[in-house]
Amino acid sequence: MDDYLVVLLTPVFVAFLVVGQYAAAIGFGVDIWTLPPGKIVASIKAFYVDEMLYLAVLALVKLTMLFLYLRVFAPQAPPTTGVTRRYRKHYRMFRAAVLVIAAFVALPSLVFLFLDAFQCRPIDTVWTQWTSTERPTQPGASPPHSHSCLSVRTLAYVAASFGLAQDTAILLVPWPMLVDLRLGLESSTLPPGSSVKAARSAMVTATAMFSLGVFVLTTSCIRLHFLVHFSEASINPTWDNTDSLIWSGLEVSVSVIVLSLPTVRLLSQRAWRSWRDRQDWG
């Protein structure tokens, strides 16, 4: 399942990077009054699209990581000892917890995607409201004109808070399984061969993912700090929202790196064995 999600993730992540770089190249990072109207509209449109791609990429990364956990920690040894039987019992509980977290990731992400896509009515108000001194009304108020918008700052705060909770759950959920693997290795009750190798591989992979996962969580917290300065009705959006754009890109990119660690580790091992074999033959 994680392989299929990676196939889906790849084009979305590439689109996120391309649109983000396009937004930075044509408008973000400079004051709005230094730009022609056409570039202002194009940059705000790109930012709007990138917001949705950001939510989609993070959701796919988290779901992929959760299903990767299920594959990495899947029981390898037959249930012939007390340790392996206990491991299988714990794996069933772990699997249930992973599926609950996956639902906790998927359902809010769909809601936030929908709210972000339809944050204004009509939708083109997102990139045209900067032309007017009259700002869209807040939710619940009677709009003086024919357009209205959600509070994008509030939406960003709620989405970021959910994201922090999801990241924390994803970081913590594999640790009981790591403890079981360590106990199995220390007790020497695992049968020799592939089961021991798989247990050690799972421990190394999960520990590396956890180490960078902490960095992802830190990046999310820093991004949340910059959301304090996020302005939904700014007179200078191409400058005021630049930090949010930068840290969103960094958070997503590091998340994809964390997800790629198991594959990078396998490729590195194969490259090392290939180089060592050539040295031996040389």
In a domain, 157, yes or no: yes
In a domain, 56, yes or no: yes
In a domain, 240, yes or no: yes
Question: Which pLDDT belongs to residue 172?
Answer: 85
Question: Which pLDDT belongs to residue 50?
Answer: 92
What's the token pair of residue 129?
A: 């409201």
Angle between helices 37-72 and 2-26 (to 10 degrees): 160
User: Among 126, 111, 115, which residue's Cα sits nearest to residue 43?
Assistant: 126
What residues form DSSP beta bridges with 120? 149
Grouping H, G, I as helix, E, B as strand and the rest as coil, residue 149 is strand
Over its length of 282 residues, how does the chain's per-residue pLDDT go in tens digits? 778 888 899 999 999 999 999 998 998 888 888 889 889 899 989 999 998 999 999 999 999 988 988 887 777 656 666 667 777 888 889 999 999 999 999 999 999 999 999 988 888 888 887 776 444 444 544 444 567 888 877 888 888 889 888 888 888 888 887 777 666 655 554 444 445 555 566 666 666 666 666 777 777 777 766 666 555 556 788 888 888 888 888 888 888 887 887 777 777 777 877 777 776 675
In a domain, 134, yes or no: no
How far apart CA 274 and CA 258 sit, in angstroms, is 25
Domain count for the chain, please give it.
1
In a domain, 135, yes or no: no
Question: Which pLDDT belongs to residue 145?
Answer: 52
How does DSSP classify residue 144?
S
Domain that holds residue 6: 2-129+149-274
In a domain, 25, yes or no: yes
In a domain, 142, yes or no: no
User: Among 280, 244, 260, 254, which residue's Cα sits nearest to residue 24?
Assistant: 244
In a domain, 136, yes or no: no
Grouping H, G, I as helix, E, B as strand and the rest as coil, residue 121 is strand
Q: What is the pTM of this model?
A: 0.79
